[in-house]
Amino acid sequence: MEKNILQAAILGSILGDSVGVPVEFMPRERLTKQPVTGLRSFGTHNQPAGTWSDDSSMSLATIVSLTEHDDDFNDVMTRFLAWLRQGEYTPFGICFDIGISTERAISRFEGGLTALRCGGSAESDNGNGALMRMMPVLFDLRKKFGDNFATDPQSYDVIHNFARITHAHPRNLMACGLYLVIANELMTAKLNGGKHFKGAAVASGLKKARDYYQSNPAFQQESAYFARIFNTYFGMLPRKEIKSSGYVVDTLEASLWSFLSGRNYADCTLKAVNLGGDADTIASLSGGLAGIYYGLESIPAEWLDQLQKKEWIDTVIEAFATKML
């Protein structure tokens, strides 16, 4: 069961990214008229169907690092550098998109700075480039601190270190913590027989993470930025009130909203993609949560069949599951 959830979390994220890649940056009005209904070819980055992007490349690099080492941030950054310069961890050997803060951080690492000091911490470093690659860390945390890691302050240090190698602003660290604690609560609910409604699991995760962040002076000013998702009725907001930009708060909101308002894996993913804007990242994050909650069997087989380098991805996930579970 745990392996099924791990596979669904990772494949659900990568597939969400792939569904979004052809329409990344597309305005919502155009997607409202011609909504995405599955995997498409070409579009924004002119890639074949099933092509995944930076979100998945950086997640896969993290997975390989976690499989071979124990929280070795310089090793993670070495792999990010190989992705940027040599096109490793990509479908076709080229890195075709990267965020500004991420590129700057990797360049600092290339210049000799230690990984944990590479991430920018300016207000302008609050894009979603750390959040988009967080899902693998969930399994590292459960292995280290158990399934209730959300009540252990040490687990947040690990999350924040994984984030800070590219994005070190406290708002960004907090967004990553909120996402992983929610994902963990969904996984626990699933393992307990899926008795919980997803809204209850999300609320429970938010409460645990909020308790930590509100008791930590470094984050007290940041909580206000997440006020909307702390509202019980957040998932019921109308679509027009959900922004889908690459700002980490907007991205976290949009992915949670898509997950909460969707009916199954495909619906959660398509709801996210059709918000437009940073569609691939939002769908990757929504797809990861939906994968956990609805399970591997809920992911459409005809989508999975079209995923580029699917066999290699399966091998990487298999080795990761063997190490983590």
Q: What is the binding site for Mg ion (CB under 5 A)?
A: 53-55, 280
| Distance in angstroms (rounded) separating the CA atoms of residues 130 and 121 | 12
Whole-number Cα distances in Å, 15 to 92, 168, 215, 233, 249: 16, 27, 37, 28, 22
- Closest approach of Cβ 281 to Mg ion, in Å? 5
Nearer to Mg ion by Cβ, of 250 and 280: the residue is: 280
Nearer CB in complex with Mg ion: 212/247: 247
CB of 306 to Mg ion, least distance (A): 18
3-state secondary structure of 63: helix
Nearest approach, Cβ of 98 to Mg ion (angstroms)? 9
Distance of closest approach, residue 299 Cβ to Mg ion, in angstroms: 19
Identity of the residue, 54 or 222, whose beta carbon is nearer to Mg ion in the bound complex: 54
84 or 201: CB nearest Mg ion: 84
Nearest alpha-carbon partner for 245 in 78, 60, 81, 26: 26
DSSP 8-class letter at 25: T
For CA atoms 158, 230, 56, 147, give the dihedral sign. Answer: positive
Q: Using the minimum distance from each CB to Mg ion, give the nearer residue, 53 or 308.
A: 53
The DSSP bridge partners found for residue 47 are: 42
Least CB distance from residue 23 to Mg ion, whole Å?
A: 11
Polymer length in residues for the chain: 325
CA distance linking residue 310 with residue 31, whole number of Å: 28
